[in-house]
Amino acid sequence: MKTISNNLRLFWQGAILSYVALFHWMRPIQYTASKILMPLAQMFFFVYLGTYATSADNAAFYIVGNALQIAAVSGIYGMTMSIGGDRENGTLGYIFGAPANRLVVFMGRAFMNIMDGALGVVIAFVWGVLLMGLDLSNTNIPALALVIVITTISTCGLGLLMGCLALITVNVMFVNNFVYFLLLIFSGANIPLGDLPVSFQALSFVLPLTRGITAARSLVSGASLADVAPLLWGELVVGFVYFMLGYFLFTAFEAVAKRRGTLEVF
């Protein structure tokens, strides 16, 4: 019982403290710029580009795709910096030195990013409705909310894996940016999956976001939760696999870093 309560405490404290400390979201202006306006501007750019490429009738396709893609801001950048930030700030040694359960520490790190990422997607949908005329009148809103949460979780799974790379490379922003921008191509946010070469389609289906975006588009078109359930299960499985890969990689890198004495070597 004591172990459970300790782990719960570790989870909550880890979630809140790591978020505050690592992200420096001390001032609302920084949060507004990076988490509200940047995604909005990015969404506008791709929606205009998409409607210019095809037609204004396809606006919903690009709005929904790019709104869901916002999950990757927290999922990829947030998660990576949650882990890589410890290395940069010199606190990684304390985490590795603590007897805390690594999985709980990890979950704590992911929790706030999932909440924050889901909030970012909701804000993006609100922008979509208010500024771009997205019609959600036929949409099952609770089901869409579920899609947003599941997609954000699975994207955080990939972010966790990327975060582990932050333990062994100094060019973590390169990796982050690369993955984030590749998701813009391969997740189907901007290019219909059928238009991609077959080999690229295979890559799309092992990435998070892909199924979530497809599910969200179906829901906006009037589909029911039951219709998109298989896609959501698939998205969950993809996220789970990335989470587990990230966790095992983290423990492996921890062992390697301790053995080589390269814990905080840049």
Partner 1 sequence: MNIRMIAKYWRTILIVAEMNIRQQITDGFILFTVLFQPIIIALLGLWMLKDKGPDAAIFVVVGSGLTGLWSSLLFISGNSINFERWTGTLESLVAIPTPFEVIVFGKNLANVAQSLLSMALGYFVAAFAFGYSLEIQQPLLFVVSVLLSVIAFVSFGLIIAPIFVMNPGVRAWQNAMEFPVYVFCGFLFPIALLPGWTTPISYLLPPYWAAVALHGTSTAGASLNETLFAWGMMLLFSLIDLLIASRLFKMMLYKARADATLGME
Residues that bind partner 1 in the complex, under the rule CB under 8 A: 27, 29-30, 32-34, 37-38, 41-42, 44-45, 48-54, 170-171, 173-175, 177-178, 181-182, 184-185, 190-191, 195-196
Pick from 45, 40, 50, 212: nearest CA to 130 = 40
Nearest distance from C-beta of residue 35 to partner 1, angstroms? 9
Q: Which is nearer to partner 1, 22 or 150 (CB)?
A: 22
Radius of gyration of the chain (CA): 19
Beta strands in the chain (DSSP E): none
Distances (CA, A) of 84 to 27, 98, 137: 22, 17, 42
Pick from 56, 19, 18, 63: nearest CA to 39 = 63
* Amino acid type, 135: D
Q: Which is nearer to partner 1, 53 or 256 (CB)?
A: 53
Q: What whole-number distance in Å separates Cα of residue 216 and Cα of residue 67?
A: 10
Nearest distance from C-beta of residue 172 to partner 1, angstroms? 8
Nearest distance from C-beta of residue 260 to partner 1, angstroms? 22
Nearest distance from C-beta of residue 115 to partner 1, angstroms? 20
Q: Which is nearer to partner 1, 49 or 252 (CB)?
A: 49
